[in-house]
Every structure is written in C-alpha cells, then in structure tokens.
Amino acid sequence: MDGQSLPTSLQAAVEGFRRYLEGERARSAHTLRAYLADVESLLGFAVQEGISELGQLELGSLRRWLGAQSEAGMARATLARRAATARAFTGWALREELITTDPAIRLQAPKRDKSLPGVLQQQQVTRMVDDLNTAAGDGGPLAVRNRAMVELLYATGVRVGELAGLDIDDLDPDRRTLRVVGKGNKERTVPYGVPAALAVDDWLRRGRPALATPTSGPALFLGVRGKRVDPRQIRAVVNELLQALGDTSATGPHALRHSAATHLLDGGADLRAVQEILGHSSLATTQIYTHVSVDRLRRSYQQAHPRA
C-alpha cells in the first residue's frame, strides 16, 4: 500500500513528518525517500491490521511489521534502519501531540551484521589509476573527468553524493583542500594530494569546458549533457573500473572510501584525523577500519611467517 492509499489522517501524518525531515532535520533527498518509504510501509501494514488512526498504533503492530519483513528475508541492516525510522516517526508524532503515548519506545531492532567493507590493495589502486591515465591521455573529456573523479574519491574518501555535489568554488587549489557538505548539512574541509590536484586541474582546463553549457552552473563535475553529474553515473564508472581489475570483490565508490581510510591508518594516520576526513559523527564508525587493517596484517603474517 503506497502513501496515496492511506486514510486521510495517516496520510496527513506522513506529510507532516516529511516537512519535519525537510526542515528541522535537513535530511538528504536519498535519506528522505528512505524514511518516508519506511513510514508508508509501516502505516500500510497497520491499515491491513484494521488501524485507521495514528493513536491506535501499538508496539505489537510495530513488532509484527518488522517480523513480517524479517520472514521475507530483509537484511538486518535494513530492518535496523526501519526500526529507527519507526522510533523517529512516533517520537515526532508524540511531540506534535498526534498521539498520547509512544508505541515504539521499547521497539528493538535486530543487531546489524558486522561485515568488514571491501578494500582495495594499494597496488590495485595504482593499476586502476594507470588505466585512467592512459584513457585520459588518449580520450575525450569524459575520460579526463573519470580520472579526476576517481583520483578525488580515493584522495579524500568523500561519499559519492558529496563528490557529485561539489562546486568549483569548493576547491582551494593553493592549499589542496576541498569544502564538503556531508550528512546533516555538516561542512568539513578535506585535504587531497598532488595526483588528484593534477587530475582535477586537467579536467578544469580541457575536460569541463568541452562539456559545459550555459546552464551548467558552478557544478565541478558534469555529465555528457553538461548538467551536474549524477551519483549513479559515478557508480557506473567506478564499478566498471573495479570489474576491469578482475581480482577484487570490492564494488562501488564506497570501496574507494573504505580503501582511503584503511590505507591512511595503515600509513600511521591518527584515528581521529581519519574520522574528521571521512565526516563520521562517531569515532566508533571509523574504528571498523582498524579492524580491516588488523585483518590484513593477520593474513599477511599467516602467509609469510614460517611458524604461523
């Protein structure tokens, strides 16, 4: 059942929650869509149980909603997010006095699977960049753009949405830093190295002018029609490069973010400095990369030491 099929009072609650997320919480468009889809799923399930008013929502309905999705094979991470959305929604409804008690206050989500992120070896990154340099030397503006995007992704560890959202003025070429607006509209400054600086400069000199149109605006990276590059286009570029390597299971731009963080820590970077670079609000999120580094160290030891 979609949002338009909900009873009027429940649909009004969804719209109120939307305004709250857009205004006070300043959520990204992607997060907004996910939250609203979760709420509509919850309320659609509740309607099927005979609920027509928000005040009729009970903890049992919430648990059965999550249970039905778990039985359908939904991943633990998604179930955890949906439980968090439910708590955020009912908490908002309580503050708005749409309900008198919060039915989700005791709602427990399944623990997330603690899987380590896919990480490239440094020589794999080198091979990827070598291929990009060859393509950029012989190819057109898109090849020049792709090299600059990948160099910047790996150099800074920014998220794919953050890269797509960069404007030219966000770059400080003299200091080799860029200004990034991350989750929750939090701004941070991230350094990048000489290879990324050279690739971006090449893109600005001979790549971007070939694609820019009067409507391109200040966007740093452009698509083939001159509009701001879409995150999906970036994912497609990176996935194709990773598949071409042939010896990694890593996928997507997030693999470059994971790799940047792991390689920084392998090189002796301070954990809190890496946290600041990645834009993590919690140090615990950054600490997963220490586990990745230890894991790689253990594998190397077992392969190399005669008495491992």
Name the active-site residue from 183, 188, 228, 296: 183
Residue 57 near residue 68, CB atoms below 8 Å = no
Cα dihedral 200/201/207/209 (nearest 10): 120
Using the CB atoms, write b or e for 110-143: b if 16+ within 10 Å: eeeeeeebbbbbeebbebbbeebeebbeeeebbb
Name the active-site residue from 147, 159, 208, 258: 159
Is 257 labeled as catalytic in the residue annotation? yes
**Amino acid of residue 138:** D
Is 183 labeled as catalytic in the residue annotation? yes
DSSP assignments along 112-135, one per residue: PP-PPPP---HHHHHHHHHHHHHH
Q: Token pair for residue 307?
A: 């008495």
Residue 23 burial (CB < 10 Å; 0-12/13-18/19+)? Answer: exposed
Q: What DSSP state is assigned to residue 219? A: B
Name the active-site residue from 208, 257, 258, 263: 257
* Contacts with 228 (C-beta within 8 Å, 6 or more apart), sequence order: 164, 165, 216, 217, 219, 221, 222
Using the CB atoms, write b or e for 260-284: b if 16+ within 10 Å: bbbbbbeeeeeeeebbebbbbeeee
Q: How far is CA 180 from the centre of its chain?
A: 14
3-state secondary structure of 172: strand
Q: In whole angstroms, what is the distance from residue 200 CA to residue 21 CA?
A: 35
Is 208 labeled as catalytic in the residue annotation? no
The helix-helix angle for 29-48 and 76-95 (nearest 10°) equals 80
Is 305 labeled as catalytic in the residue annotation? no
Name the active-site residue from 176, 179, 227, 254: 254
Which residue matches tokens 């200004």?
179
* Residues classed as catalytic: 159, 183, 254, 257, 280, 289
